[in-house]
Structure 1
Amino acid sequence: MKYKISHDTQYTFSTPVFPEPHYLRLRPQVTPHQRVDAFALHISPTPTGISHLRDGENNLIDFCWFDGEHNHLRIRAESLVTIAEHNPFHFILYPDTALTLPFSYTDQQRKVLHTALLAAPIGADLLAYGQRLLAAAHFQTTNFLTQITREIQADFTSIYRETGPPLPPDQTFTDRVGSCRDLSWMLIHLLRTMGLAARFVSGYNYIDADDPEFELHAWVEVFLPGAGWVGFDPTHGLVAGMSHIPLVASADFENTMPVSGTIRGSARSTLTSTLVIERLG
């Protein structure tokens, strides 16, 4: 699959402000199945400088800085991405102890995965929901992860929430309603509580529809011994595959924001964003 992506983000300020340096997380990842054929950033006002860096979790970030005061900040990211046809279940779990839950990571793995294992406290009802599905999957790791991803899609109502951090996991569970980031954040902390390393992924999801409305999407990756990071999308009840285009992954959702930075000034700001994804073949 080849995709052409145009992602336009604009902040308009009521009075001129001085933009502090900004981090941009809009560059698609290069993975064993995903190739970035072209990528370009168009930024207004023109930055004084821009650098490319790897963050602490090995995500590729564009870092830009500015001079002077401005009444807007517009960032347009244009990408051309190819995703090779592949089977997302083409892996084995190794050693065999990872075939069933609970299992233990090695000491070395736990050191590397430390932040992805830090679970926020969750209520007994949410934990019981996970344990019920684990028993129904006969404690088999892959079956459980697939089933809980499907169950969340069936049991919860997905809504669009343009801004704001993910809601607390227990609130999402009680309300049975959430955005993609709410459902992902809930699943992440449930899995961490059950002993699995899980992280938050921000990216794009292509929907084949007559008149699709695209938005930035969030899903979950779980570290499985022998397989590495495997993606699960609780919003759509799917294992992440050829329609998922990851940008950045982190143990903390705050490190996946597409644009982050501050301004000097007391102006009011208005955010507008448009995303267009075309499948070219």
Structure 2
Amino acid sequence: MKLAITHTLLYDYSNDVRLEPHYLYLHPKQGPYLKVDQYSLQISPTPDFISKNVDSADNIQHIVFFNNSTRHLSIKAESIIEVTEFNPYSFIYHPFESSRLPIKYANDLNDSLQSYLNRKGVTTYVDQTARQIAASVNWDTSSFLSELNKFIHSFAYEIREEGDAYSPEKTLLERRGSCRDYSVLFMAMCRALGIASKFVSGYYFSDPNQPQYLHAWVNVYLPGGGWRGYDPTQNCLVSGRHIPLATSAMPNLISPIHGTFRGSAQSVFKAEVSVRKIEE
């Protein structure tokens, strides 16, 4: 399936400002089921320099440098990609003991996954709730992940385009949040039971006639299955309709745009996302 993606970000400032370097994560992340055919980046005011890098988590990162003052910042990222749908259940746990919780990774693998096992945000309440869900499915790993998806999906969903994700406990206590809040809670509850997990920022292709936004979900590392995606917002497994931009153990590191400005001004932010299928 071929998709055309347009992501526009607009900032208007009440006075002239000088833009500090801005970090962008707007390039689709290639993988076995995703190929990038075209990509373009349009920025106004015209940057003095753009550095294209691969960051510490193998994401494509652009760092944009500006010299002159401005009252606006406009960024448009356009891409054409090809995605292949796949069966997310097509794997066998190996070693088979990993099909039961808590997961214990082999020593070398455990060392390599440490940043994805960090228990920051795993409070007593988060840990106990995770264990209650696991016990309800007899500590079966796949069943726990599916039940966790369903549990968080039942919360009150809200659209919040700016700001950091809520803490896992806040989302759990209030039973509400955005897709990134759901994902951060999902990660914490997985890590409570020894499942390595990372945050994914990207897009989800569903009904092109509905409003579209930046999306977030979670990848978990399953022995024998590698990284597998779970989306508590949609209550589904990732199977070819999710388009990742970046992944990280720490969600705040991969915001689609991150930067500051110098000057005394108020800013107004607007974002638009379009993902549409190209008929072949």
Aligned to 1:151: 151
| Pairing 1:225-240 to 2, within 5 Å after superposition | 225-240=223-238
Q: How far has the Cα of 1:121 moved from its partner?
A: 4.2
Aligned to 1:55: 55
The reply to whether residue 36 of structure 1 matches residue 36 of structure 2 is yes
Q: How far has the Cα of 1:37 moved from its partner?
A: 1.0
Aligned to 2:101: 101
What is the alpha-carbon distance in structure 1 between the residues aligned to residue 188 and residue 201 of structure 2? Answer: 17
The reply to whether residue 202 of structure 1 matches residue 201 of structure 2 is yes
| Pairing 1:1-281 to 2, within 5 Å after superposition | 1-154=1-154, 156-208=155-207, 211-281=209-279
> Which deviations, in whole Å up to 9, do the C-alpha atoms of 1:245-280 show, x marking residues without a partner?
110000101111000112121211111111111112
* Contact kept in structure 1, 2:5 and 2:273, CA below 8 Å: yes
What is the alpha-carbon distance in structure 1 between the residues aligned to residue 27 and residue 81 of structure 2? Answer: 10
Q: How far has the Cα of 1:143 moved from its partner?
A: 1.9
For residue 133 of structure 1, give the secondary structure of its aligned residue in structure 2.
Answer: helix
**Which amino acid counterpart does residue 96 of structure 1 have in structure 2?**
F
> Which deviations, in whole Å up to 9, do the C-alpha atoms of 1:124-143 show, x marking residues without a partner?
44333322221232222122
> Which deviations, in whole Å up to 9, do the C-alpha atoms of 1:84-117 show, x marking residues without a partner?
1211222222112212111211222222211111
What is the alpha-carbon distance in structure 1 between the residues aligned to residue 249 and residue 123 of structure 2? Answer: 21
What is the alpha-carbon distance in structure 2 between the residues aligned to residue 227 and residue 65 of structure 1? Answer: 40
For residue 201 of structure 1, give the secondary structure of its aligned residue in structure 2.
Answer: strand
For residue 51 of structure 1, give the secondary structure of its aligned residue in structure 2.
Answer: strand
**Which amino acid counterpart does residue 233 of structure 1 have in structure 2?**
D
For residue 260 of structure 2, give the secondary structure of its aligned residue in structure 1.
Answer: strand
For residue 29 of structure 2, give the secondary structure of its aligned residue in structure 1.
Answer: coil
Tell which deviates more after alignment, 133-142 or 262-271.
133-142
For residue 67 of structure 2, give the secondary structure of its aligned residue in structure 1.
Answer: coil
What is the alpha-carbon distance in structure 1 between the residues aligned to residue 43 and residue 215 of structure 2? Answer: 22
Q: How far has the Cα of 1:67 moved from its partner?
A: 1.5
**Which amino acid counterpart does residue 178 of structure 1 have in structure 2?**
G
Identity score, percent: 36
Q: How far has the Cα of 1:15 moved from its partner?
A: 1.2
Tell which deviates more after alignment, 39-48 or 120-129.
120-129
What is the alpha-carbon distance in structure 1 between the residues aligned to residue 87 and residue 35 of structure 2? Answer: 16
Q: How far has the Cα of 1:208 moved from its partner?
A: 1.8
What is the alpha-carbon distance in structure 2 between the residues aligned to residue 121 and residue 267 of structure 1? Answer: 34
Q: From the superposition, tell whether residues 121 and 86 of structure 1 become closer, same or farther in structure 2 (CA, over 3 Å).
A: closer
For residue 239 of structure 2, give the secondary structure of its aligned residue in structure 1.
Answer: coil
Q: How far has the Cα of 1:146 moved from its partner?
A: 1.7
Task: Give the TM-score, by structure 2 length.
Answer: 0.95
What is the alpha-carbon distance in structure 1 between the residues aligned to residue 122 and residue 254 of structure 2? Answer: 23
CA RMSD of aligned residues (A): 1.4
What is the alpha-carbon distance in structure 2 between the residues aligned to residue 55 and residue 121 of structure 1? Answer: 24
**Which amino acid counterpart does residue 112 of structure 1 have in structure 2?**
S
* Contact kept in structure 1, 2:130 and 2:192, CA below 8 Å: no
Q: How far has the Cα of 1:80 moved from its partner?
A: 0.7
For residue 89 of structure 2, give the secondary structure of its aligned residue in structure 1.
Answer: coil
What is the alpha-carbon distance in structure 2 between the residues aligned to residue 121 and residue 53 of structure 1? Answer: 30
Task: Give the TM-score, by structure 1 length.
Answer: 0.95
Ranges in structure 2 where 5+ consecutive residues have no aligned partner: none
Q: How far has the Cα of 1:190 moved from its partner?
A: 1.2
